[in-house]
Amino acid sequence: MTSTSLDVERIRKDFPVLSRELPGGRPLVYLDSGNSSQKPTAVVETMREHLAMHYSNVGRAMHVLGAESTEAYESARDKVADFIGAPSRDEVIFTKNASEALNLVAYSFGNPANTDPRFTLGPGDEVVISEMEHHSNIVPWQFLVQRTGATLKWFGVTDDGRLDISDISGLITERTKIVSIAHQSNVLGTINPVADVLRRAREVGALVMLDASQSVPHHAVNMAELGADFVAFTGHKMVGPSGIGVLWGRAELLDAMPPFMGGGEMIEAVWMDHSTYAPVPHKFEAGTPPIVEAIGLGAAVDYLTGVGMEAIEAHERGLTAYALDALREVPTLRLIGPESLDQRGAILSFTLGGIHPHDVGQLLDDEFGIAVRVGHHCARPLHLRFGIPATTRASFYLYNTTGEIDALVRGLHHVQKVFA
Amino acid sequence: MIGESMYQELILEHYKHPQGRGLRDPYDAEVHHVNPTCGDEITLRVKLGDGGKIEDVSYDGQGCSISQAAASVLHELTTGSTVEDTLSVVDEFTRLMQGRGKVEADEDVLGDAVAFAGVAKFPARVKCALLSWMAYKDAVVRSAAR
């Protein structure tokens, strides 16, 4: 049904788990990639090969294996930098996940060790987030304002699941130090109007951070074109392993920021009473990093590039259009998020009459092998905004098919029958 | 089809027709418990009667079929019994739920609550089944303390 240049059947063969059978002979229908994606053989094999034949510590071991590991780790950084169009490879900092990347930036503000006015924060200063954020883009900023006495403000969300920018000038003001919002919502699927937010932030001299965990895996995202100051994303949602995330930041900002964690490899020289720090990116990579995970992320980026991000985006767009139509036919289903394809990604969250999402998810899994996510998806304030405790969420990726969406719709009809 | 063993007819029956639902006066203790992972919540009241008996257990809340049905079964099993008897039912139910599906349920003690045996195989759902039962235990302790 979808018009796309992407050969889904061939792609599915790259992901061994997609052809496994679940207990009871059910095929797997994996519609939970927004939570975490599956891994292609290329990623698994790259990691296995490195662990088996090349592994050692990076940056400090003066032997062949150390050199091979360092080379592989740093070339993963090159690949990621390339993939996101980073002006410099040194702007790519490996973290353990997107949460750590967000925390890293939040902790730079109001750090007593910092002297740069861009990162000083106190009473009267403001931080702006939004009501549609994942908890990882809420809680670190709550910590920050608690530490510093600054004020937390947020964008609301419209009834159709868009960022409410009607009072953007009242919200982002001369008092705003940083605005941190999702590039794409992990519940609504909404792609936020980054350009509008950036324009206002620039007028008042505020910095802008994007949580791109749901956008970088699914769209061609270019740091130079995007124009933000900081961008966080994570490896496991983009066919890479868990345990590896990325903070991209503009070099001049990263240079000016105080370090986040102290430890090995982030230093230049250490005395008993003080230290000087390594240049970026290593200034922010204290301790032995997730070496094999970074190398796996490099392989993931190679894989996605091989398929083509434009083709992936087009494929997901086709799936989303198909799913929006199909779900519209399910009685009592209420979509939480934009009904149109405009500025939205391949994530569909919904309620089904009065049936609790846990019951929906359990039956879809038990009876049909359909994996969806149920709950508040780490975005409780957004669910409160819509007056619901939880939703059922289907999220698609390059390996999903319209047949799987048909299976979801059949499953939902069955759920309604059981709880009627 | 694991689902069929979890969604027993009896559970669905209690979910669709909850027994004793709604908060009632008078009461000796009221508690509010939540399951932070899924947002299920329950407000539960206990009224003690003569002779160490439970006169009424009333409740209101929201959540999945498992948590709602468990509260309904709890109401049926506890109302009219002695505090002591109900606490041993709570203990047996807790043992069953935390047994990862490997514990043989004592039907004589549990009555209708044995229908939840299948839930014990789903670690993510055990808390749903236990929500109202833990709230009940809490409320009984508080009533006795008054």
CA nearest to A368 within chain B: B1
Contacting residues of B for A355, CB less than 8 Å apart: 65
Test the B interface: residue of A355, A362, A382 with most B CBs within 10 Å: A362
State whether residue B12 sits within 8 Å of chain A by CB: yes
Residue A310: Cβ within 10 Å count: 12
pLDDT value of position A3: 43
Question: Measured at the alpha carbon of residue A178, what is the angle toward residues A175 and A184, in degrees to the nearest 5?
Answer: 135
Residue A155 token pair? 């964008």
CATH 3.40.640.10 domain extents, chain A: 45-305
**Residue B43: beta bridge partners?**
B32, B60
d(CA A418, nearest CA chain B) in Å: 8
State whether residue B123 sits within 8 Å of chain A by CB: no
Contacting residues of A for B37, CB less than 8 Å apart: 375
CA A182 to chain centre: 9
Q: pLDDT of chain A along its 420 residues, tens only?
A: 444 579 999 999 999 999 999 988 999 999 999 999 999 999 999 999 999 999 999 987 789 999 999 999 999 999 999 999 999 999 999 999 999 999 999 999 988 888 899 999 999 999 999 999 999 999 999 999 999 999 999 999 999 999 999 999 999 999 999 999 999 999 999 999 999 999 999 999 999 999 999 999 999 999 999 999 999 999 999 999 999 999 999 999 999 999 999 999 999 999 999 999 999 999 999 999 999 999 999 999 999 999 999 999 999 999 999 999 999 999 999 999 999 999 999 999 999 999 999 999 999 999 999 999 999 999 999 999 999 989 999 999 999 999 999 999 999 999 999 998
Residue A172 token pair? 């982002």
Contacting residues of A for B1, CB less than 8 Å apart: 24, 366-367
Q: How many domains does chain B have?
A: 1
CATH 3.90.1150.10 domain extents, chain A: 8-30+308-418
d(CA B50, nearest CA chain A) in Å: 38
From CA B74, how far away is CA A147, in angstroms rounded? Answer: 45
Summarised one tens digit per residue, pLDDT across range B102-144 is 888 888 889 889 999 989 988 888 999 999 999 999 999 998 7
- Give the start-end residues of each E strand in B71-113: none
Test the B interface: residue of A359, A365, A388, A391 with most B CBs within 10 Å: A359
**Catalytic site residue A378?**
yes
State whether residue B128 sits within 8 Å of chain A by CB: yes
B62: helix, strand or coil: strand
Q: What share of chain A is helix, strand, coil (3-state, %, to 5)?
A: 40, 20, 40
Q: What are the backbone angles phi and psi of residue A410, rounded to the nearest 5°?
A: -60, -45
The residues near A191 (Cβ < 8 Å, ≥ 6 apart) are A183, A184, A215, A343, A344, A345
Q: What sign does the CA torsion over A383, B124, A243, A256 have?
A: positive
- On the question of a cis peptide bond just before residue A112, with omega within 30 degrees of 0, the verdict is no
Of the candidates A356, A366, A380, the beta carbon closest to that of B65 is on A356
Domain of residue B95: give its range: 2-145
State whether residue B39 sits within 8 Å of chain A by CB: yes
**CATH 3.90.1150.10 is the classification of domain A8-30+308-418:** yes
**CATH 3.40.640.10 is the classification of domain A45-305:** yes
Residue A360: Cβ within 10 Å count: 27
CA nearest to B66 within chain A: A359
Complex ipTM > 0.90: no
Q: What is the pTM of this model?
A: 0.92
Of the candidates A24, A358, A383, the beta carbon closest to that of B2 is on A24
| Active-site residue (options: A209, A244, A378, A379) | A378
Q: Which helix (H) or strand (E) holds B40?
A: strand B40-48
- Give the start-end residues of each E strand in A170-325: 176-182, 207-211, 230-234, 245-249, 267-270, 275-277
State whether residue B51 sits within 8 Å of chain A by CB: no
Contacting residues of A for B64, CB less than 8 Å apart: 356-359
Contacting residues of B for A419, CB less than 8 Å apart: 12, 15-16, 65
* CA-to-CA separations, A13 to A17, A22, A97, A194, A301, in angstroms, rounded: 9, 17, 28, 36, 18
CATH number of residue B61's parent domain: 3.90.1010.10
CA nearest to A364 within chain B: B3
Contact predicate A240/A36, CB 8 Å:
no
